[in-house]
Amino acid sequence: MKSNEATVTEVAGKHKKKKYGSTHWLLTLMALPGILIIFIFKYLPMGGLILAFKNYKYSLGILGSEWVGMKNFMFLFNSSTFSILVRNTVLYNLAFIVLNIVAGIMAALFLDNVMSKRGIKLFQTSMFLPYFLSWIVVSYISLSLLDYDKGIINQILGVFGQNSISFYSETKWWPAILIFFNTWKNLGFNALIYYGTIISIDSELYEAATIDGCGYFRRVKYITIPHLKPTVIILGLLALSGIFRSDFGLFYYLPADSGALYDVTDVLDTYITRSILNTSSLGQSTATGLVQSIVGLLLILTVNSVVRKYESESALF
């Protein structure tokens, strides 16, 4: 792809070529502050990843501590619930990725049909409210809805003569509950991002399409969606690389750490946090983080190369 650009530039003539030559340095200079901050605060500490292979003793320092090979990794792999943890982590993440995209785009499209500025403001602000809340607060909200004797849902069920549901000990409800709250919390934020893209689309395109006799759905299909594609791909790719990680707060606070629900609520991050608390090993948590990173890296390299093939402009790198 780069070679294509290069030939174009070369063809464009000497004047331009010379200009572009100096441009690279200027562009690099622009990027430099950001690059430096990333290097210092993100790359320098990465040396600490060797802790994953060590039995870290404070008094011996990072390098002085004893090498233990893959022992810290075996702690995770030998877990009797490892397969359940992986299943939960991956499936929830896939559901979140898809639903965040779909719900975000739908809300953005709906917003785009609202003509009054005040209306847009009102809807956008209210949908954004959950994004301000921490998971601890959200867990209070979910409790107020799901509680056995005081919860709003069970109060409503009672009105219709139905039996109350003991949500915090029945596993079957939790996949839906967790997915709902995750989508709910991120809806306003995702809608905002897609809406930002939609309103920057040249309105002449729509006008021209309308004159050509295109209905609303055709305009969405042929103009809006293609314009959203780069954003969707970027957000999707970024989210995919975290497929082995999860939002600790969501999985820990919402189910109130109820043991009876572990089969459907326990993910790698909650398991590790719980396990390491008493055995207190930096090596084990570093090793887990490393596994999560490597899985993300492998996945992203694969998907990115596919994207580069078909949508080179949207590829991450």
Choose among 98, 238, 124, 239: nearest CA to 192: 124
**Please, which of residues 273-292 interact with other proteins by CB under 8 A?**
274-275, 278-282, 284-286, 289-290
**Most distant CA pair in the chain, distance:** 83
Among 24, 69, 176, 211, binds other proteins (CB under 8 A): 24
Among 13, 149, 159, 163, binds other proteins (CB under 8 A): 149
Q: Which two tokens stand for residue 206?
A: 């729509």
In angstroms, give the least distance from the CB of 302 to other proteins.
14
Among 87, 131, 209, 291, binds other proteins (CB under 8 A): 131
| Interaction between residue 211 and other proteins (CB under 8 A) | no
Among 19, 102, 208, 222, binds other proteins (CB under 8 A): 19
| Interaction between residue 150 and other proteins (CB under 8 A) | yes
| Interaction between residue 18 and other proteins (CB under 8 A) | no
**Please, which of residues 298-317 interact with other proteins by CB under 8 A?**
300, 313-314, 316-317
CA distance 34 to 42: 11
Among 7, 126, 302, 305, binds other proteins (CB under 8 A): 126
| Interaction between residue 196 and other proteins (CB under 8 A) | yes
Among 67, 176, 204, 310, binds other proteins (CB under 8 A): 204
**C-beta of 78 vs 161, nearer to other proteins:** 78
Over the window 52 to 91, marking each residue x when it contacts other proteins by CB under 8 A and - when it does not, the resulting string is ----xxxxxxxxx---------xx--xxxx----------
| Interaction between residue 240 and other proteins (CB under 8 A) | no
Size of the site for other proteins (CB under 8 A): 142
Among 225, 263, 306, 311, binds other proteins (CB under 8 A): 263
In angstroms, give the least distance from the CB of 179 to other proteins.
14
CA distance 54 to 23: 46
In angstroms, give the least distance from the CB of 112 to other proteins.
8
**C-beta of 94 vs 196, nearer to other proteins:** 196
**C-beta of 91 vs 143, nearer to other proteins:** 143
| Interaction between residue 225 and other proteins (CB under 8 A) | no
**C-beta of 58 vs 67, nearer to other proteins:** 58
Question: Which residues contact residue 189 at a Cβ distance below 8 angstroms, ignoring those fewer than 6 apart?
Answer: 104, 128, 131
| Interaction between residue 102 and other proteins (CB under 8 A) | no
| Interaction between residue 221 and other proteins (CB under 8 A) | no
For residue 59, how many other CB atoms are within 10 A of its CB? 6
